[in-house]
Structure 1
């Protein structure tokens, strides 16, 4: 029971921190929010591109191996 109470308290603290972080973000001027979202979007797009490149490389390897093993 004590472990559950401690665990619950940890979640309560985490929820409070998240709520505070969100309120400070919305208090930023619109231009600053735009720059933050754009930066995150650019980073996500770059990560997506890298993953697609890896996927295509592996798919090409698989296709070549399938052709060799016919």
Structure 2
């Protein structure tokens, strides 16, 4: 599931980069900062998903103490 989140995050980031580029090209200067903020949030979310996946993978094979 985490791998799917990562893939979806990468797709969203690609789309957002295109949106930012289009806004810059069309000189929608007032919208660029907001679009960049969204891009930064998506990148942060992707990084958290990657970190979570690494954490999950590092615990594979360890006993679970949840009941």
TM-score band w.r.t. shorter chain: 0.3 to 0.5
Structure with larger RCO (C-alpha < 8 A, sep 6+): 2
Task: Compare the two structures and name the one with the higher helix fraction.
Answer: 1
Query: Larger radius of gyration, structure 1 or 2?
Result: 1
